[in-house]
Amino acid sequence: MTERLFEEKQHASLYQKYRFGPPDELKELILHYLDEKKGKPHQLAVDLGCGTGQTSRPLTGYFEQVVGIDVSESQLEQARAVPGFPNLSYRVGTAEELPFPDGSVDLLTAASAAHWFDAERFIKEATRVLKPRGCLALFGYGDNMKIHYESCGDRLNNIYEEVKQILLPYTSSKVTLANSKLKILFETIPFPDKERIEIIPIKQQLSIKNVIGFIQTFSMYQAYLRADPSAATALLERTTSRILEEMKVSSTEAKVDFIMEYFCVLACKPE
């Protein structure tokens, strides 16, 4: 059964504000794979667990139609509020029951979402809706993010590790599957033509405000917030103060290098 952990309006708003779209390197990897395995035309892409649309929107320049699917209407309200994408639509639904005919989808994507799916039912449904030579691209990032700023990177990373330890008791076993880089799900895919890329390093600059906002979007932080609102709020305030102190800056708009390791599972349905 698809997990339902991201349905509060406030959480959806945080997602829209602080979650990242796919880095260009990853987007190009996926599109190159699709071109190589299936070729054009690229008619329909379906983005599963699309949330607020960060992965759906970048696909619109490459497909005639893009459809984002998510269980959360609150997430989709945020996605629909972004104008300028006439070939993009959103529907409430699950990855295990897709509203598409057999053999109709060129590309199925899931960004930081596939670990929440019922693997067996999802793979069966993906096999049904994909065209012959249609492709599956499941990706995300592990929890080993690193923060760099001048000479205090190690101390900043220690602060982040302490936050992770506090949130550990609130971490779903499904997140552990993501941190294993979808190894079990990869093994479940029955297509002979498949690959799993374990490390795609991506560096970007983020403000301290955005780093803290990103932590707020974590499912384990939201679970902590529900269990103990005052302690969860204090954790973010304390973490922000410690980062500012270590960096010797006064503004949360100050930027750090934020390094993430993405992973990607690619698979092509046989003819």
Q: What is the amino acid identity at position 223?
A: A
> Residue 25: exposed, middle, or buried by beta-carbon count in 10 A (0-12, 13-18, 19+)?
exposed
pLDDT of residue 175: 66
205 and 257 Cβ atoms separated by less than 8 Å: yes
Rounded to two decimals, the pTM is 0.86
What residue segments make up the domains of the chain, in order of their start? Answer: 9-269
pLDDT of residue 196: 96
Could you give the CA distance from residue 150 to residue 146 in angstroms, rounded to a whole number? 13
Return the HEC string of the chain: CCCCCCCCHHHHHHHHHHCCCCCHHHHHHHHHHHHHHCCCCCCEEEEECCCCCCCHHHHCCCCCEEEEEECCHHHHHHHHCCCCCCCEEEEECECCECCCCCCCEEEEEEECCHHHCCHHHHHHHHHHHEEEEEEEEEEEECCCCEEECCCCHHHHHHHHHHHHHHHHHHCCHHHHHHHCCCHHHHHHCCCCEEEEEEEEEEEEEEEHHHHHHHHHCCHHHHHHHHHCHHHHHHHHHHHHHHHHHHHCCCCCCCEEEEEEEEEEEEEECCC
Q: Which residues pair with 69 in a beta bridge?
A: 48, 91
Question: Which pLDDT tens digits describe the chain residue by residue (271 residues)?
Answer: 344 444 456 656 676 676 777 889 999 999 999 999 999 999 999 999 998 899 999 999 999 999 999 998 988 998 999 999 999 999 999 999 999 999 999 999 999 889 889 999 999 999 999 999 999 999 998 888 999 999 998 999 999 999 999 999 998 776 666 668 889 899 999 999 999 999 999 999 999 999 999 999 888 899 999 999 999 999 999 999 999 999 999 999 999 999 999 999 999 999 9
- CB neighbours of residue 184 within 10 Å: 11
pLDDT of residue 225: 93
Q: Would strands 193-207 and 146-148 be described as parallel, antiparallel, or unpaired?
A: unpaired
Could you give the CA distance from residue 172 to residue 208 in angstroms, rounded to a whole number? 26
Fold (CATH) for 9-269? Rossmann fold (3.40.50)
Question: Which of 212, 181, 217 lies closest to 8, judged by CA?
Answer: 217
Could you give the CA distance from residue 181 to residue 102 in angstroms, rounded to a whole number? 29
pLDDT of residue 21: 78
pLDDT of residue 60: 97
65 and 128 Cβ atoms separated by less than 8 Å: no
Print burial letters for 2-13: b (CB count within 10 Å at least 16), e (below 16): beebbeeeebbb
